Amino acid sequence: MFQQHDCPACGSTNAVKNGSTYYGKARHKCKACQRQFVFERTHEPLSDECKRRVELMLAERISLDAICRVMEIKQHRLYAYMDELYDGVPDDLACSVAEDADVELINADCEADELWSFVGRKTDKQWLWLALDRRSRQVVALHVGNRGEEGAKGLWRALPEGYRRRATFYTAGRPRDDWAAYKQVFPADQHRFRKTKKDTNHVERFFCTLRQRCSRLVRLSLSFSKELDRHIKSIRFVVTNYNLSLQF
């Protein structure tokens, strides 16, 4: 942190202490023009090294508070950088589109932990819809929304054009589960439904990975008014990092 050392009126650096303000901040007086002022504290921008570390940590299951402590930065600066970073996440999640792919689909409950009830949002459950390319293991699309047909439509829309035209989609579960939503949205000739989870084990496993890497981000972001927005963005960020690690 560095402080401003010149007078806001005349630019002179010749200032002396002159008591304190009502709020307890030290007041200064310019010896050249007699102007009284409070030094404004400003921060140096985060260094490239610091940004790199923060980026790596955001892709792990490390609490945001912990990142602030380790990197010795204030929370609002972390959030500002986080937003900058999340805005740079590509729409396609950095996945490479394959020809005639086999895609596994899953519709998973994003755990809403106890914090939801504290903010009176216990009813606001969000379901994560994921599509994972079986060959590359990359996540080709994700959607956060409700559990029914609308959620399935969201996932369908999020899929790259090539997948919508050519891919075969696999879902699994008991009939009373949500496969009906897929049926309503995914073309019958491209959709395979199995009662066993044999055909969706990669995506099921990936969902565990995601939970391990993302849950704390989700929990902490709840204390913010735009929580759903950050919730989705943080998932997209982790998924994109995962996809990039699989690029060849």
Instruction: Please give the Cα distance from 161 to 124 (Å, whole number).
Output: 31
Instruction: Please give the Cα distance from 126 to 238 (Å, whole number).
Output: 17
When computed from its CA atoms, the radius of gyration of the chain, rounded to whole angstroms, is 25
32 binds Zn ion (CB under 5 A): yes
144 binds Zn ion (CB under 5 A): no
Residue recorded with tokens 């459950």: 125
Q: Shortest gap between Cβ of 25 and Zn ion (angstroms)?
A: 18
Interacting residue with Zn ion among 4, 9, 118, 122 (CB under 5 A) = 9
Interacting residue with Zn ion among 35, 51, 121, 147 (CB under 5 A) = 35
Burial-class residue 68 by CB neighbours within 10 Å (0-12, 13-18, 19+): middle
The site that binds Zn ion (CB under 5 A) totals a number of residues, namely 8
10 binds Zn ion (CB under 5 A): yes
Instruction: Please give the Cα distance from 105 to 192 (Å, whole number).
Output: 10
User: CB under 8 Å to 183, separation ≥6 — which residues?
Assistant: 191, 193
Q: Kindly indicate which of the ranges 30-38, 138-146, 178-186, 220-228 contains the residues binding Zn ion, using the contact rule CB under 5 A.
A: 30-38
Interacting residue with Zn ion among 18, 20, 26, 33 (CB under 5 A) = 33
191 binds Zn ion (CB under 5 A): no
Q: Shortest gap between Cβ of 37 and Zn ion (angstroms)?
A: 8
147 binds Zn ion (CB under 5 A): no
30 binds Zn ion (CB under 5 A): yes
Instruction: Please give the Cα distance from 157 to 164 (Å, whole number).
Output: 9
12 binds Zn ion (CB under 5 A): yes
User: CB under 8 Å to 65, separation ≥6 — which residues?
Assistant: 75, 220
Q: Shortest gap between Cβ of 34 and Zn ion (angstroms)?
A: 7
User: CB under 8 Å to 14, separation ≥6 — which residues?
Assistant: 30, 31, 32
Q: Shortest gap between Cβ of 32 and Zn ion (angstroms)?
A: 5
7 binds Zn ion (CB under 5 A): yes
Alpha-carbon 187 to chain mean position: 31
Q: Kindly indicate which of the ranges 24-32, 70-78, 215-223, 229-237 contains the residues binding Zn ion, using the contact rule CB under 5 A.
A: 24-32
Decide whether 30 or 140 has the Cβ nearer to Zn ion. 30
Q: Which residues bind Zn ion (CB under 5 A)?
A: 7, 9-10, 12, 30, 32-33, 35
